[in-house]
Amino acid sequence: MGGSEIRRTMPLFPIGIVMQLADLSARQIRYYEEHELISPARTEGNRRLFSLNDIDRLLEIKDLLEQGINMAGIKKIFAVSKMEKVEGDPFAKKPELTDDELRNLLKKEMLSPGKLSRSSIRAGDLSRFFR
Amino acid sequence: MGGSEIRRTMPLFPIGIVMQLADLSARQIRYYEEHELISPARTEGNRRLFSLNDIDRLLEIKDLLEQGINMAGIKKIFAVSKMEKVEGDPFAKKPELTDDELRNLLKKEMLSPGKLSRSSIRAGDLSRFFR
DNA sequence: AAGAGTATGTTAGAATTACTAACATCGATG
DNA sequence: CATCGATGTTAGTAATTCTAACATACTCTT
């Protein structure tokens, strides 16, 4: 209370800034939210406010999309990497896609021509920009 | 071009966020700008955008104000600490207030009762909030 | 005590930015 | 070719911010 701390989870950025930072359109960002890949905070007046973590995640999404992975795949990937962090949690949520389904998804995506291995630039993790 | 870097000088935050972060009213922030203590960037549509440095500076201003120093004094203090950084610069700008004037200002401010030595909390430098 | 100056509050009206929802497009896929 | 998935575009509405003006509460000066 009163004192203000800046954390990576703190909602700070309006969508206009995030668009520039992540080089994404508002439409794209909202679409990813619609698919629950991000969950930015809201102001009292319902404007989205993004944290540094949100932006990192957007960059990850962008990266994965460029590799030809679709919403469902990305969602699954995030679910997995989240599970790794809470490994052993007895309350761990059951993922919507089984591992089999993910394998199928990825196999399908892999076969789509011209998309894979285009950008080898690691996009994610905005923190490297700070000094 | 194209790639986006986040620097401490990068204009990122709308005034609403800065108000929360620095615990200042919009009126205060705009007033300090009016007195050239800060110079936030603007969007194309003329909305202010503040950098991390701007926010640090706002916290410094707040701190100095709480110590009873006025706009002119703060401006001078900033001018001095800026000069220290470019010490020896043959093009160094001549300050609007002479050192004598500053001494008088500060002496006057020192004598004002009830304001001095109230908060011993160091406010400035937002960077300590990051991890 | 009256007047002037300083920092801030408040209000009004205009302009920008963001929101949702709907419809359009375009490439890949069955 | 009819769908689907990701994104563009548009319209209408609502939130946020802007400037400018006037108000207030102190402090200082005379």
- pLDDT tens figures, A84-122: 777 766 555 555 556 556 655 655 554 444 343 333 334
Sorted by sequence, the CB contacts under 8 Å of residue A127 that are 6+ apart come out as: A8, A52, A56
Q: Suggest the residue from A1, A5, A44, A63 to mutate for an interface test with chain B (most B CBs closer than 10 A).
A: A5
Residue A86 beta carbon within 7 A of nucleic strand C: no
Measured in degrees and rounded to the nearest 5, phi and psi for residue A77 equal -60, -45
Q: What is the CA A94 to C1' D28 distance in angstroms?
A: 71
Q: What is the CA B33 to C1' D24 distance in angstroms?
A: 22
**pLDDT at residue B131 is higher than 80:** no
Helix (H, G, I), strand (E, B) or coil at B78: helix
What ranges make up the beta strands (E) of chain A? 41-42, 48-49
Distance CA A72, CA A43 (A): 28
Residue B33 buriedness (CB in 10 A; 0-12 / 13-18 / 19+): middle
Tell me the chain A residues in contact with residue B130 when contact means C-beta distances shorter than 8 Å: 6, 130
Residues in chain A: 131
Sorted by sequence, the CB contacts under 8 Å of residue B114 that are 6+ apart come out as: none
Measured in degrees and rounded to the nearest 5, phi and psi for residue B81 equal -65, -25
Tell me the chain A residues in contact with residue B45 when contact means C-beta distances shorter than 8 Å: none
Residue B35 beta carbon within 7 A of nucleic strand C: yes
Q: Do the Cβ atoms of A117 and A108 come closer than 8 Å?
A: no
Reference B14, options B35, B44, B37, B40; nearest CA is: B40
Reference A80, options A97, A68, A64; nearest CA is: A97
**What pTM was estimated for this model as a whole?**
0.79
Query: For B115-125, what is each residue's pLDDT tens digit?
Result: 433 333 344 56
Query: For B92-101, what is each residue's pLDDT tens digit?
Result: 555 555 555 5
Q: What is the CA A70 to C1' C23 distance in angstroms?
A: 23
Query: For B58-92, what is each residue's pLDDT tens digit?
Result: 999 999 999 999 999 999 999 988 777 777 665 55
Distance CA B120, CA B50 (A): 26
Tell me the chain B residues in contact with residue A5 when contact means C-beta distances shorter than 8 Å: 129
Query: Among A3-17, A113-127, B99-113, which stretch is predicted with the lowest mean pLDDT?
Result: A113-127
DSSP A96: S
Instruction: Mark yes or no for CB contact A12/B8 under 8 Å.
Output: no
Measured CA distances, B45 to A17, A67, B41, B42 (Å): 13, 36, 11, 7
Element (H, E) at B48: strand B48-49
Q: What is the pLDDT of residue B92?
A: 57
Task: Give the 3-state secondary structure percentages of chain B, helix then strand then coil, rounded to 5.
Answer: 50, 5, 45
Q: For tokens 């949520």, what's the residue? A: A93
Q: If phi over 0 gives left and psi between -120 and 50 gives alpha, with beta otherwise, what is residue B112?
A: beta
